[in-house]
Amino acid sequence: MSAVAEHRCPCGYVADCADTAPGTSTPVDAKPSPGDLTVCIRCGRVLQFTEAMGVRPFEAMGQLAESERAAIRRVQAAIHSMRGIPS
Ligand SMILES: [Zn+2]
């Protein structure tokens, strides 16, 4: 898990760290860069890091490879299960 600048999801959750998605080739301790995606640990929304390392909602899921969408779905399913949110 890497420390990053505080960023706020539209749901209001403020995060100050990020982790690598399981099943990807990214090194475990890699720091995110502008353009990288993250998933809010509270609501499961997909967010994209901006140049200033804030975040904005990511709406272009169709542009991702199926393996990337699958990794995001696994993370969202885990978050929804943990929070009791129906997937
Ligand atoms: Zn959120």
Q: Choose between 3 and 23: higher pLDDT.
A: 3
Q: How close is the Cα of 85 to the center of ligand 1, in Å?
A: 13
Residue-wise pLDDT for 25-74, tens only, equals: 677 677 889 999 999 999 999 999 999 999 999 999 999 999 989 989 99
Ligand 1 centroid to Cα of residue 71, in Å, is 18
- Predicted local confidence at residue 22, as pLDDT: 65
Stated pTM of the model: 0.84
Question: What's the distance, Cα to Cα, between the start and end of the chain in Å?
Answer: 25
Give whole-number Cα distances, 19 to 2, 4, 36, 63, 86, in Å.
6, 10, 12, 22, 23
Assess contact for 48 and 35: CB atoms under 8 A: yes
